[in-house]
């Protein structure tokens, strides 16, 4: 376990070093829910302050599928501000950003980018019929409708979407067992959780071949010229 944490922290440092001066144009933000030790509703006042819900904020470039940055913390304005400011420090040109309707993003994007951004939200409405069909209480909610709205700048409304980042969330849940739903594979320590997520995103960016791109996201973004092996990744991080 100590080796896993060491590798994961090395992967996080590698991503921090490599994801600089990026030429990305179309960004999508979203969050993936998980928990440490126990779910938020089961926490007591004398519990470890790390316990409870933890959200993985992540940003993906729609064109290259590159994950620019991630942050694992509570889902609040402080985390959103730190996450968005980190993204602003990594891109070199004006970007268009798409998010869901999470309120914290509006102020965070304004603080980090000022007027130098095009920002739009896509608001999705879901329904859940578990009250009438109890056997479906663990099923995904049904999509009902969606609408787009401009928030800042002059976003191209047909490009306002969170489809790519939501697909990334599904990939992340598949590869990081700590984020799988309805299992006992949750993390007991926040450091272990962050290390596992860092390892996944480093593997995703540098090693995993994207079927649509036919290369890795790092190659598509011009960060790397060749595929990495898992061995290459370990050598770069340990």
Which domains are seen in the chain, by residue range?
Answer: 19-187 (3.30.420.10)
Residues 91, 77: Cα–Cα separation, whole Å: 22
Q: Give the pLDDT score at 170.
A: 94
- Two tokens at 146? 């969606």
Q: Outline where the chain has alpha helix (H).
A: 2-18, 77-88, 104-113, 163-175, 190-206, 217-220, 230-237
Instruction: Give, as one character, the DSSP assignment of residue 221.
Output: T
Q: Give the pLDDT score at 132.
A: 58
Q: Which residues of the chain have pLDDT under 50?
A: none
Q: Give the pLDDT score at 139.
A: 62
Residues 204, 11: Cα–Cα separation, whole Å: 11
pTM above 0.85, yes or no: yes
Q: Give the pLDDT score at 1.
A: 84
């Amino acid at each position: 376990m100590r080796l896993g944490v060491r590798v994961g922290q090395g992967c996080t440092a590698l991503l921090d070093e490599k994801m600089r001066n990026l030429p990305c144009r179309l960004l999508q933000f979203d969050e993936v829910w998980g928990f440490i030790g126990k779910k938020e509703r089961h926490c007591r006042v004398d519990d470890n302050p790390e316990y409870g819900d933890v959200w993985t904020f992540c940003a993906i470039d729609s064109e290259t599928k590159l994950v620019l940055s991630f942050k694992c913390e509570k889902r609040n304005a402080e985390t959103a501000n730190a996450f968005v400011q980190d993204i602003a420090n990594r891109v070199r040109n004006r970007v268009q950003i798409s998010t869901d309707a999470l309120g914290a993003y509006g102020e965070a994007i304004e603080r980090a980018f000022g007027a130098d951004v095009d920002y739009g939200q896509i608001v999705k409405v879901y329904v859940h019929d578990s009250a009438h069909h109890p056997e479906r209480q663990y099923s995904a909610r049904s999509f009902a409708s969606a609408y787009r709205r401009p928030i800042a700048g002059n976003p191209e409304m047909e490009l306002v979407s969170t489809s790519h980042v939501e697909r990334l969330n599904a990939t992340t849940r598949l590869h990081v067992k700590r984020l799988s739903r309805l299992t006992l594979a949750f993390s007991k320590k926040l450091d272990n959780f962050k290390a596992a997520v860092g390892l996944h995103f480093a593997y995703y960016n540098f090693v995993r071949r994207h079927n649509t791109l036919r290369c890795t996201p790092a190659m598509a973004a011009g960060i790397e010229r060749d595929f990495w092996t898992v061995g290459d990744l370990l050598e770069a991080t340990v």
